[in-house]
């Protein structure tokens, strides 16, 4: 399960490590980056993931940003609350790519009506799965 961390919304996606597939799931509301932890617990109970992946919003030059520090804190809290392993994944341009994909499908840019956060989470997970598979010995 992957999370696209944000201060007002957190996108969630799920996937299958064996099949290498991923899909957008939902968008959770957050207040100053703090989600309703009960909502996350419900998702974890329903989907029973083996690992959690949190997008790391680094600056374009690879340096740490204030938001990436908050995403790392969110990841530590996920691990602390639920005891699941958590991986961080570089998510530079994932939201930009998700918006581009929405435009290609005919959306007119009303991202409030159709937020891209779960699609960004899916892109984060898809990339993480691909990198994980390429790192495995043949």
pTM, to two decimals: 0.82
User: Which of 3.40.50.2300, 3.40.718.10, 3.65.10.10, 3.30.420.140 would CATH assign to domain 2-135?
Assistant: 3.30.420.140
Task: Quick: pLDDT tens for 96-124.
Answer: 455 555 556 555 554 444 468 888 899 89
Distance between CA atoms of 3 and 116, rounded to whole angstroms?
A: 12
Q: Is the pLDDT of residue 134 over 90?
A: no
Task: Quick: pLDDT tens for 6-43.
Answer: 999 999 999 998 888 889 999 999 999 999 999 999 99
Share the mean pLDDT of the chain. Answer: 85
The predicted pLDDT at position 113 comes to: 42
């Amino acid at each position: 399960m992957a999370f696209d961390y944000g201060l007002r919304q957190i996108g969630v996606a799920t996937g299958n490590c064996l099949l290498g597939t991923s899909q957008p799931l939902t968008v959770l509301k957050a207040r100053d980056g703090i989600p309703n932890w009960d909502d996350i617990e419900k998702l974890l109970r329903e989907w029973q993931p083996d690992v959690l992946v949190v997008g790391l919003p680094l600056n374009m030059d690879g340096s740490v940003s204030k938001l990436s520090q908050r995403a790392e804190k969110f990841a530590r809290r996920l691990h602390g609350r639920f005891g699941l392993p958590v991986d961080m994944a570089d998510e530079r341009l994932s939201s930009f790519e998700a918006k581009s994909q929405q435009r290609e499908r005919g959306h007119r840019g009303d991202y409030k009506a159709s937020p891209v956060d779960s699609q960004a989470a899916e892109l984060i997970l898809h990339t993480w799965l691909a990198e994980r598979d390429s790192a495995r010995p043949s």
